[in-house]
Chain A
Amino acid sequence: MATITTTKKPPRAPETPETPAWVLWVNDHRKWLFAAPAMVFVAALLVFPLAWTGYLSLTDAEGSVRADSDFVGLRNYVDVLTDVERFWPAVGRTATFTVAALVFEVVLGMAIALLLWRPFKGERWVRVAILMPLVATPVAVGMMWRLIFDPNIGMANQVLGWFGIGPQPWLAGQHSALPTTIFIDVWQWTPMVALILLAGLTSLSEEPQEAARIDGASTWQRFRHVTLPLLMPTLTVAVLLRGIDALKTFDILYATKGRGGGSFHEVETLNVYAYGLSFDYNEYGVSSTVLIIFFLIIIGAMWALTARRKEARR
């Protein structure tokens, strides 16, 4: 008898017969049951700390994290925003670092992506080479360049010597340290931009290229008026992803110049400054103020970039 009843029904799946009520409930509410744990995890680590940072920025908290602190209103903000010794130079360095690194990485990344665009023999090896810098640990990369850029024993000055150029101070120089760290960032992250742009190029269709060629467009004209506009969405993603990370750069700077971004604060960006205030000097109130301002700058930059992206889509 049992065989007859089963053959009448659609093929049995293990869950279907007498499905318990809780299984039905779980299935009906899967949308939030699936999404909530991850969201709660991130929100717990994000929202509360940010609110806490906001609160601390209005206090004179310093010393131990458990010590009492007094509410001081906006005094920290006034102090920080009028601080031309450390704060504003740090803002300037953050902007210089981010913009310079981004410009070099996008231009060079685009060049490398175009070089790799059409298939060729040995492509595999070049792709492997491109991957190496960007999976390397940034702290180790910082140490590696410290040796290469060492003014006395470093290879960089040796190479310059071959071309008759005198030794440079690189990371040790008050004015050359920041450009040198930008160079390191460009070395490590240009491959990332190149890979993203290459993925974009590979997904482009051939027809617009062909059409432009038949119309007699030169290589440059094809790049400028066909490839580049079509690649714009990908380029924006690359700029957005890399820009955020460049803005957050800490490892390379701290690994090469240490606390305070060197004795003249020559590579002290907002990240390094805030980190130093928090964990080298335990000035939690002031550091929170710096971070809130930094945070607002990031939100502003993001907003400007996404607005730009929406415009590009139209």
Chain B
Amino acid sequence: MRPSPAYRVFRVAALVFVMLALLAPLLWMISASLKTNVDIYDPGKALAFSPTLDNYAKVLQQANYVEFIVNSLWVAFAATVASLILGLPAAYSMSRFNMRKSALVVLMARVIPGVSLLVPWYYVFSNLRMVGGFGVLIISHMFVSLPLIVYIMMGFFDSLPAELEEAALVDGLTHIGAFRRITLPLSVPGIATAGILSFIFSWNNFMFALVLSDADTKTLPVAIFDFVGYASIDWGGLMAAATVVTLPIMVIALFVQKYVVSGLTAGATKG
């Protein structure tokens, strides 16, 4: 049945409003990052202003953001790869052998507030002289990535018919051979979904790096937080810093939209 014309007009109006409400703040942030601080303070120059890249020059050159970008990339990449190496076989086993209780152990990590683990972690890792290093940052981010990957991939393996592996066994492959040569290649879309989401969550993580990083290993979210000193805020620089951390992830999400959505909604329709 075709919806009535009145509803169609309402729907277009409502959708335009939703888009504006979601995108306008982000566009405002980007536009402020291109303004001088004088222009930011001038409401008359809300839209009509002459753009400048000074804020970016300041953030990238003086405030060492290039280093923090590299730190963030490295930690997110390493945590994602390590979590995939641990998480893929685990999710496979938990799916095929129906190990729901074991899965619960891993998924508990998603429920517990990070702050309740930070004091013991800080204690242990400072005794191991690891606080401030990349190792502890990667481990702490894996604690977020691994449950996410296991959760997404369990759903994926559940939907992958076991008959394909059985056929491979008949053809003489071992179980592990079948996993490596049949299951994993067929799971590329699922792995992409899990990997991309893991990368995004790690990139955005703030609390673990706030406690466990030092001046050399700081990730971008912590660097942005440190940008706000006790003195008056350099709004242009702050918005440039905020744009530097969000824009790459938004651009990535644009290109791999399908995977991000399927990862975020994983497990939603199975009930």
Contact = CB atoms under 8 A, between A and B. Distances in A.
Interface in B40-76: 40-41, 43, 46
Query: Which of B18, B121, B173, B211 has the most C-beta atoms of chain A within 10 angstroms of its own C-beta?
Result: B18
A34 B172 contact: no
B34 interface: no
Contact of B172 (A13, A56, A128, A138): A13
A136 B250 contact: yes
B109 A46 contact: yes
A43 B119 contact: no
Contact of B260 (A35, A135, A247, A278): A135
A247 B113 contact: yes
A53 interface: yes
A16 interface: yes
Query: Which of A10, A39, A139, A248 has the most C-beta atoms of chain B within 10 angstroms of its own C-beta?
Result: A139
B238 A42 contact: no
A31 B15 contact: no
Given A50-B116, A53-B120, A138-B206, A115 B11 contact: yes
Interface in B131-158: 139, 142-143, 146-147, 150
Interface in A234-273: 234, 237-238, 244, 247-248, 250-251, 254-255, 258, 271
Interface of B: 1, 3, 11, 14-15, 18-19, 21-23, 25-26, 28-29, 32, 40-41, 43, 46, 86-87, 89-90, 92-94, 97, 99, 102, 105-106, 108-124, 126-127, 139, 142-143, 146-147, 150, 170-177, 179, 200, 203-204, 206-207, 211, 220-221, 224-225, 227-228, 233, 235, 238-239, 241-243, 245-246, 249-250, 252-254, 257, 260-261, 264-265, 267-269, 271
19 contacts: A12-B172, A45-B117, A49-B124, A115-B18, A116-B15, A126-B15, A136-B204, A137-B249, A139-B221, A144-B26, A144-B28, A147-B238, A200-B269, A237-B268, A248-B113, A255-B224, A278-B118, A287-B119, A291-B115
